[in-house]
Amino acid sequence: MKNEKLRLNKYIASTGFCSRRKADELIEAGNVCVNGEQITELGFIINSKDKVTVNGELIKPKTLTYIRYYKPAGYITTMDDEKGRKTIYDILPEEVHNLKPVGRLDKDSTGLLILTNDGDFINQLAHPSIKVPKVYRVCASGKLTMNDLVLMEKGIEIERNQIAYAFARIVEFEGKNTILEMVLYQGLNRQIRKMLDILAHPVISLKRISFGPVDLSGLKKGQFKYLKPKQIQEIKNYLKKLQKNNT
């Protein structure tokens, strides 16, 4: 990193330690020191050569890495599982085991995952206020109607006091089943499956095909590719535009 001045929270996020929002919380709580001096001022400006510690631990900028990954079925999206189930890290190479996923896909779902060690990037992509669209291809049991689509758009209570929304269109009918394209702006646990269960059209298969401007193009199941600097900048510009439009 060049010798430049930048906000303390941005510096912490640039190390991959956490997001800027979480960094602000750590600063306010008095857990951050610069050159041995406790800092509690939000917006504090540092020189990139300053020594920053969080809870006594020296943190340094790291090379930020971003990949897109085509998750196959049968694996959960976590580093460790106390139940002993297979995780995506059992099949991903060790070189990317330090990367965290943006959101999750459940065990039986397939499709796009974005993984990175950039905490700020994760927070922006996943934050509900920014409303990044996630698109899914879903095969549901039975034949859905336009009324079902309207109900999903208006919102379905999938848990007590938890309303889930989805914008859906019918792509085609495949035998007795319905192929849907569904767009979510939320990130609720098993949201699509719960919505369609309530409508009595349980999910047969579910694949995430895009996350904002990132899609599965050029990827086979179980394969990953590094995002190039140009692609990363395009995503960040896209997020800035979304954030501006939603404020």
Burial 205-229 (b: 16+ CB within 10 A, else e): ebbbebbbebebeeeeeeebeebee
Evaluate the CA torsion angle 244, 233, 117, 137 in order and state its sign: positive
Query: How many angstroms separate the CA atoms of 63 and 34, rounded?
Result: 21
What burial class does residue 182 get, using C-beta atoms within 10 Å of its C-beta: 0-12 exposed, 13-18 middle, 19+ buried? buried
Based on the residue annotation, tell me whether 118 is a catalytic residue of this protein: no
Query: How many angstroms separate the CA atoms of 21 and 32, rounded?
Result: 14
**Which position among 81, 106, 108, 197 bears the catalytic label?**
106
Is-contact 117 62, C-beta < 8 A? yes
Burial 63-84 (b: 16+ CB within 10 A, else e): ebbbbbbbbeeebbbeeeeeee
Chain-centroid distance, C-alpha 6: 26
Is-contact 188 165, C-beta < 8 A? no
Which residues are the active-site residues? 106
